[in-house]
A = this chain, B = another copy of it.
Amino acid sequence: MEKIDIPKRTVYRLSLYQRCLQKFLEQSVDTVSSDDLASAAGVKSTQLRKDLGYVGQFGTRGLGYSVETLSAAISGVMGLSMLQPVVLIGVGNLGAALIRYGGFRKEGFEIIAAFDAEPSNVKGPTEEMGVPVHHVSSLGDYVAEHAVRVGIVAVPESAGQEVTNILVESGIQAILNFSPAVLNVPEAVVVNHVDLAAELGSLGFFVN
């Protein structure tokens, strides 16, 4: 497929654009210019057009883009046409917050199961959100059985690689990693690393 040659940055921004389009859709806007959409997403319009250029041609010169068409096109490329099941590993503070956080569903993802080393310590999410919390020992089988392609890792650093190995062996294709650990994965597996401490830490440089 031609997917491979879209820059990672562009892919990330496509998902921003998608969210903005959704918002326009809710407001019954049916046409946007690259300027409108770009400023909603916080980027320059030239960048937006370049990004969309990787995907195809959807605009009408002089007019702009049809919100609906563009949104559908991006959905297609991003593989968001149907709900993508996701597992989450590590139901600590952050993991539990992510389960309760509704924002993922709108992006086309649904956390269908959570795993923890001590599921009995976990109470909230199961009842609140209907997400069952299993023992981490069943992770591999679950992922393989349900053909889950995306995993969210929210375990402590020490367990990060171990959990990742299980996921990889069971056929995971993409990981969103919230642990501070640097995860070692085969090339075919994509990891997005969200390092909260580093994000905050790097702000230190800019103050004073």
Contact = CB atoms under 8 A, between A and B. Distances in A.
* Chain A residues touching B, majority SS: helix
A6 B109 CA distance: 37
Copies, count: 2
Contact of A79 (B93, B174, B208): B208
A42 interface: yes
A173 interface: yes
A80 interface: yes
B207 A98 contact: no
Interface stretch (A11-19, A28-36, A60-68): A11-19
A7 to B, nearest CB: 11
B101 A204 contact: no
Given A40-B182, A41-B182, A101-B94, A190 B174 contact: no
A152 interface: yes
A182 B42 contact: yes
Contact of A204 (B15, B19, B175, B200): B15
Classify chain A's interface size. Answer: 35 or more
A192 B3 CA distance: 28
Contacts of A207: 79, 84, 149-150, 173-174
B16 A196 contact: no
Contact of A97 (B94, B104, B107, B206): B94
Given A15-B198, A96-B97, A182-B41, A203 B208 contact: no
B176 A80 contact: no
A196 B109 contact: no
A194 interface: yes
B79 A195 contact: no
A145 B185 CA distance: 48
